[in-house]
Amino acid sequence: MERLDAFMARANAAYYASHDPFADFTTSPEITQVFGEVLGLWAAVTWEAMGRPDPVLLVECGPGRGTLMADALRAVAQAAPGFRTALRMHLVETSPRLRAAQAVALPEEVAWHDDLASVPAGPMLLLANEFLDALPIRQFVRRDGAWMERFVSDRSFVEAPVKDGTFLLPLPPGEGWGEGSRKHKPQTYTAASPDQAGPALRGLPHPDPLPEGEGAVLELCEPACAIAADVATRVTRNGGAALFLDYGPEQSALGDSLQALQNGKPADPLAAPGEADLTAHVDFAALARAASGARVHGPVPQGLFLARLGLFQRSGRLARTQPPAKAASLMQAAQRLAEPDRMGRLFKTLCIAHPDLPMPAGFEP
Ligand code: SAH
């Protein structure tokens, strides 16, 4: 029997080490070069606002084929040569297979890391597209008035009671869970004794009021929250900003969002570990809470963010220099990324920045 997050970590490590994930799904940088270009320019503009530190770390988490970074570098070399000279590239990537692809796509100066912990301290700009959704989650299910945790055994879910917990005090009223609650502020949590708190969810910032409905599912991505907290500490100490683009709701929401893609099609997440890509929705409100200390901007819908950054203008300018078929596909790609009923609304952009940094581009109210 394996806890769901352990199962998911093992399955995804095997999947990314042995498969070309882009055979199963595509991502924004693979859809259009303009995505990486505008994110590179966002980083350059933010670097100006930071006072042009030299050197500055340019970090990407989960760079896939290296496409986003290659497109960003090209745009930056042209539009912001000072930033291009100042930046030091650090990639956080665990898959040897994808590291090899990144080495082909990018200049030799890249340094790789297994996780953020070994990235040196310093002023930093960080980009992460569809990285957090691949990180392992835990799931809790409400049964007979108590919380059970989901484990995986023999390719199916089993539920075990949550025990031995230090329970955490509820969020202040109105700062809670679910649609309709007020915007989340960063929170700190104080441990209460388990008997004060009833059935325990160990170490979890749990919703208030706890959902009572039989079968309610609550998800928690501890590594994503740990990364948000680490990034917040780093940018607050040394300056900088981090941009996370991923899909998920603005407010923490109940429900099972674990999904698998195998051979490009939805699959049973437990059936074939290592053969399918496992993802879950990103809980942006939880990230924002974890990033307390830094300033959190957004989340704003990806479509709005990219449109503000000039996705359509840049795609249009590029299209004018291309043959008609390529020009049309560039404009269609921009629409796919930005239209609300496609990737524009479900995908969100969140920025964790130094508290004194002016409002980053794209996050204006
Ligand atoms: N950002 C890319 C790729 C997204 S796929 C794009 O937009 O195209 C997810 C990426 O995260 C892959 O590069 C994968 O190998 C990497 N990844 C997944 N889990 C990881 C982990 N725990 N630590 C570091 N990288 C991870």
Does residue 145 surpass a pLDDT of 90? no
Does residue 206 surpass a pLDDT of 80? no
Please work out, in degrees rounded to the nearest 5, the angle formed at the alpha carbon of residue 205 by the alpha carbons of 204 and 210.
100
97, 21 Cβ separation under 8 angstroms? no
Measure the CA–CA gap between 244 and 127, rounded to whole angstroms: 6
Q: How confident is the model at residue 99 (pLDDT cuts 50, 70, 90)?
A: very high
Residue 270, token pair as written in the block: 């437990």
| pLDDT tens track for 240-289 | 999 999 999 888 778 899 999 998 899 999 999 999 999 999 999 889 98
Write down how long the chain is.
365
Average pLDDT score over the chain: 86
In this structure, the residues whose C-beta lies within 6 A of any atom of ligand 1 are 12, 16, 21, 27, 29-30, 62-64, 68, 92-95, 98, 129-131, 134-135
**Ligand 1 center–CA 129 separation, angstroms:** 8
Measure the CA–CA gap between 231 and 125, rounded to whole angstroms: 10
* Ligand 1: residue whose CA is nearest its atom 11: 62
Question: pLDDT at position 175, please?
Answer: 36
**Ligand 1 center–CA 10 separation, angstroms:** 14
Q: How confident is the model at residue 213 (pLDDT cuts 50, 70, 90)?
A: confident
Residue 235, token pair as written in the block: 């940018």
Q: Which is the closest atom of ligand 1 to the Cα of 13?
A: 19
**Ligand 1 center–CA 268 separation, angstroms:** 21
Helical packing angle, 324-338 and 311-320, nearest 10°: 170
Question: pLDDT at position 210, please?
Answer: 57
**Ligand 1 center–CA 61 separation, angstroms:** 7
Helices (H) and strands (E) in the chain, counts: 12, 17
Measure the CA–CA gap between 135 and 222, rounded to whole angstroms: 9
